[in-house]
Structure 1
Amino acid sequence: MRTIILLLLSNIFMTIAWYGHLKQQHLPLWKAILLSWGIAFFEYCLMVPANRWGFSNGFNGFQLKMTQEVITLIVFTVFAVVYLKEPFHWKYLVSFCFLIGAVYFMFKK
């Protein structure tokens, strides 16, 4: 569970670092890059331990990556709808269901 929580928190930082500047068009690009890089530092401070602990507690590399990708999509969906005010289309939900299926098969023994 610690791995999942750290992956969730790191993805929140990552999403803010990568996409938070999109509504701040007045900010010069070089400042957006430096700000994003600074935020991404905290993402790495959470992501590296999440992957290390997850790997040492039974996840393999493929499982860690697939789990991280699903968490990323969930975090980004909330961010896009709430912060970017983008509509959520039904086709996104169908795509996410296919990814959840991929996670299921990734963990199937």
Structure 2
Amino acid sequence: MNPVLGTVLLLIGSNVFMTFAWYAHLKELNAKPWIIAVLVSWGIAFFEYSLQVPANRLGFTRLSVAELKVMQEVITLSVFVPFSVFYLKEPLKLDYLWAGLCLVGAVFFMFRGKFAGA
């Protein structure tokens, strides 16, 4: 498998766990003491790190750290928006589109010329 594709897939999985670790307790554990939410979130974050660390190590074979970071941010927003709309029932906002367009610009500037001729 292509290392960049493998990195993207691992980061998507990592971000699903990360998003649940950071935000699911707002819905599921809101009535529980905060320490319970912290412990549950740490348990979920273990799986996030189990995917994120190999993703970055694999990605670093072909990508710079800056490219990995921009990729991470794009994937984070791509996972977070559906999570917030469908799981947390937050309203879909036009600001998500504007943020996404800014990330498209970031991707363009970070990766321009990277795969030209590939």
Length-normalised TM-score, structure 2: 0.89
1:38 to 35, 39, 43: 43
Aligned partner of 1:96 in structure 2 is: 100
Aligned partner of 1:47 in structure 2 is: 52
1:87 aligns with 2:91: yes
Question: Percent same amino acid among aligned pairs?
Answer: 56
For 1:95 and 1:50, the matched residues in 2 are separated by: 24
Aligned partner of 1:4 in structure 2 is: 8
Structure 1 segments unaligned to the other structure (5+ residues): none
Alignment-mate amino acid for residue 87 of structure 1: P
User: Once the 2 structures are TM-superposed, how far is the Cα of residue 91 of structure 1 from its aligned partner?
Assistant: 2.3
Length-normalised TM-score, structure 1: 0.96
For 2:48 and 2:41, the matched residues in 1 are separated by: 10
2:19 counterpart SS class: helix
Structure 1 segments (4+ residues) deviating >3 Å: none
